[in-house]
Amino acid sequence: MSLKQEQVKAKIQYNLPKIQIDQSRAWSALGKVPSLELTARINSNLRNVVMDTIAKIAQKGDRMAKIHIKQDPIPEFAMENSIDLVGLNYEDPASIDNVDISVQEGTLDIQFSGGTVKTEVRPNKPIINYIPGKLEVYLQQKNGIEIYVPKIDLNI
């Protein structure tokens, strides 16, 4: 018997996956933005801050005009001015969705070719010698195993 084997040839082509992480909105929520963007945000909020300030001044004027109230409003205003800070808000709202992750899948292409096995079998015929009264049959180069099971006495 003879065996001839042709090796398998595998052709593998692949593209690695790509991951892109955009955390610009996370930095923006922390107020860490480029100076031009920061200036634009401050300018866009400045109108609202000015309008709020004018409204507060008008409320204070209304309070000062109420002369029938016996308390002096000026110490109140001084206390509010020492605590009141300008309400410029240039940070974006913080959120768990501020980081964008995009994944482009990679590709994998595997092609196989070849991989054949050719066998050539030539049977060996058994050799039989016959002598009257005696019979021997065997195969050349054939190993064998004989297993005997001993008898077990169950009458113990």
> pLDDT of 7-58, one tens digit each?
899 999 999 999 999 988 888 888 788 888 878 877 877 888 788 888 888 8
Structure confidence by residue, pLDDT tens digits, 44-60:
778 887 888 888 888 88
Task: Judge contact between 109 and 13, C-beta under 8 A.
Answer: yes
Give the E-state strand segments of the chain in sequence order.
2-5, 8-15, 18-22, 100-104, 107-114, 117-120, 127-131, 134-138
Q: Which amino acid is at 109?
A: D
Domain spans of the chain, in order of start: 2-123
Q: How many CB atoms lie within 10 A of CB 28?
A: 20
Cα torsion for 125, 129, 134, 140, to the nearest 10°? Answer: -40
Nearest to 113 by CA among 1, 2, 12: 12
Position 71, amino acid: Q
131 compared with 135, residue with greater pLDDT: 131
* 122 vs 108, residue with greater confidence: 108
